[in-house]
Structure 1
């Protein structure tokens, strides 16, 4: 395990890491039986000038077509892989990285490795394995000289916040604080971001009496005044809620990357192409213009839009299957531009 006190860390955002337009990424989910081939998907991604993709697992068939394209990849370590990586050695973690990732795409295309998705609270069986797996993967990357180039984190659901309203009163669920604090310490020591999945759509449909559609869709409406800051949309409120919660635990400097956000086109209340375009269009515009949040106005928020295609085999509510920005025929579901 690395020594977290060996050197002083200068954080990515404070040294200008997000000083220019932040990347607009797209999640490439594959829980479907009608998707284009990975090669066709990569051609679609290239044609549309998308430069950053998140893959939820390192499937070789999906990875290989990205090799040599220059597209930056964020690759997930699936939850079910965490126990074996956590209980092995850094050498074994390196073997896993070599066979599952680096054998298929060059290291210089890997932006982030996401160790587990929404484990804390939502998939608690794997919680004890997240931090040990991260340490082993970090040691593996260090041993091959890639720990500065490839950053490691773990994507979290918004539910890890016990309270998120108003943002300045936010705090993490106390049940996960021991593990979460270890994660935050690692992120601070390695200049890595907290990764969070942010869905104003879920907030709206679950709490329509408290959350307005205008606020969820970045439309002008009533503003929230919180201390000396003013919020006019739910996205900013949610991101800043995480920042305030980290600050409460002594980790207020850590950058935030939104690893999933999006709006469905069908299958639920307010799910439509028009609303998806309004939401995702504003997210893209903010990224291109390096727009921060009220809490961090000078720091653009890196985001990954969910999802490249509809996923017809996803579990849960019907709308879960309808986040696709593109149809399986490659035609945009709505006129979203990425530049």
Structure 2
């Protein structure tokens, strides 16, 4: 999780001569989202299961808790050899994280080395029909620049390994980014990637377009509010503004989530990859550690996210294209470093009760 707010750069609305192209890219994005449906159902919410805690229930209990609440998708941040079989046995579709520290090996090992890693670290513990994504690295371009040159080669090698197994059409390979990958996000149509990251992003975007995989992003309106409460209204971050807060040409925004996703859409278009779908691999709201981190606010944010995912809501720039979303986090993680609120994103308590009233059915 990156501690940042979406950047503000008043670059103009970027809409001139772009309307026809955006109609085309919305259509293409819808086709790609449909084509990649086997890699995950955007109409169902997923939940992240972080494991940096001292009082976490056993994996089988976590898996049962997910199923009891109608949740059939989960993101793991590493190929945990205890969690994978428990979740797979419960019929949960899994996004498996490839840890940053594995990228140098996977980059240098070639397709055969990546195949050995994939078989021993993932497929030995969960059947392929339960694995939906390999999320290669997490926020590498935000805080792990050492691994940046190895990121895309590792993705290519893992994809080649999937091809060798005949699984490339089923398991998609991508990488989760912090939303600070954007150098400009206001207004959304001015969205542009950080220029220092383009040497990695451009070949990655080509790879995503060629393989039908989504661009993955972790985005936290809560953190944007915390970092800039003067310019980010609490209601705008919480889906509670009601009326438009940001106007961008003919488009209006009532919430920061839509604005952030559309800034990414604009950035993708700017690089010539407007057809690449977007998956939000982390978002959520904490229950403690800050005056705005309350169970009531967490319930409001996450319930709204569940509702919009269930109805297949798009964004103003992509109104017909659902956004796949994974909520953070299944449980509080008392071992996480950083600000106090980092340890309080849990939707459930360790005894299986809900931290606040929310319905996933």
TM-score range (shorter-chain normalised) is over 0.9
Q: Is the 8 A contact 1:24 1:284 kept in 2?
A: yes
Query: Within 2, Cα distance between the matches of 1:275 and 1:154?
Result: 29
User: In the alignment, what sits opposite 1:258?
Assistant: 280
Residue number in structure 1 paired with 2:270 = 248
Task: Give the structure 1 partner of residue 131 of structure 2.
Answer: 110
Q: How does 1:310-325 map to 2 (within 5 A)?
A: 310-325=332-347
Aligned 8 A contact 1:68 1:106 in 2: no
Runs of 4+ in 1 over 4 A off after TM superposition: 18-21
Aligned to 1:197: 218
CA shift, 1:69, in A, is 2.3
Q: Does 1:237 align with 2:259?
A: yes
In structure 2, relative to structure 1, the CA distance for the partners of 1:15 and 1:138 (3 Å cut) is closer
2:301 aligned with 1:279: yes
**In structure 1, C-alpha distance between the alignment counterparts of 2:310 and 2:334, rounded to whole Å:** 31
Q: What SS does structure 2 have at the residue aligned with 1:230?
A: strand
**Which residue of 2 is the match for residue 307 of structure 1?**
329
Query: 1:97 aligned to 2:118?
Result: yes
Cα distance in 2, alignment partners of residues 97 and 231 from structure 1: 42
Counterpart residue number, 1:30: 51
Q: TM-score w.r.t. structure 2 length?
A: 0.89
Are the equivalent residues in 2 in contact too, given 1:11–1:188 (CA < 8 A)? no
1:295 to 300, 317, 326: 317
> Corresponding residue for 2:33?
13
Aligned to 2:316, what secondary structure does the other structure show? coil
Q: How many equivalent residue pairs?
A: 332
Structure 1: which 5+ runs fail to align? 1-8
Task: Provide Cα deviations, 1:230-281, integer angstroms capped at 9, x if missing partner.
Answer: 1100000000010001111111110000000000000013000000000000
| Displacement of 1:337 | 1.1
- Counterpart CA distance in 2 for 1:148 and 1:129 is 24
Contact preservation (8 Å) 2:174, 2:215? yes
User: How far did 1:11 drift?
Assistant: 5.1
SS at match of 2:151: helix
Q: CA deviation at 1:15?
A: 4.5
Match of 1:57 among 78, 86, 89: 78
- Give 1:224 deviation, angstroms: 1.3
Report the alpha carbon displacement of residue 222 of structure 1 after superposing the two structures with TM.
Answer: 4.3
Preserved CA contact (<8 Å) 2:41 2:324: no
Aligned to 1:122: 143
Offset of residue 221 of structure 1: 4.0
Q: 1:31 to 1:202 in 2, by over 3 A?
A: same
Distance in 2 (alpha carbons) for counterparts of 1:84 and 1:16: 28
Separation in 1, partners of 2:227, 2:187: 17
Partner of 1:68: 89
Task: Report if aligned partners of 2:30, 2:321 keep a CA contact under 8 Å in 1.
Answer: no
Distance 1:269 1:298 in 2: 36
How far the C-alpha of 1:335 sits from its partner, in A, is 1.1
Q: RMSD between aligned alpha carbons?
A: 1.8
Partner of 1:151: 172
Which secondary structure does the structure 2 equivalent of 1:112 belong to?
A: strand
Q: Match of 1:338?
A: 360
Q: 2:160 aligns with which of 139, 162, 165?
A: 139
Task: For structure 2, list consecutive stretches of 5 or more residues without a partner in the other structure.
Answer: 1-28
Deviation, 1:10, is: 9.7
Report the alpha carbon displacement of residue 317 of structure 1 after superposing the two structures with TM.
Answer: 0.2
Q: Contact 1:121–1:176 (CA<8 Å) still a contact in 2?
A: no
Q: Which residue of 2 aligns with 1:6?
A: none
Q: In the alignment, is the contact (CA less than 8 A) between 1:167 and 1:237 conserved in 2?
A: yes
TM-score (norm 1): 0.95
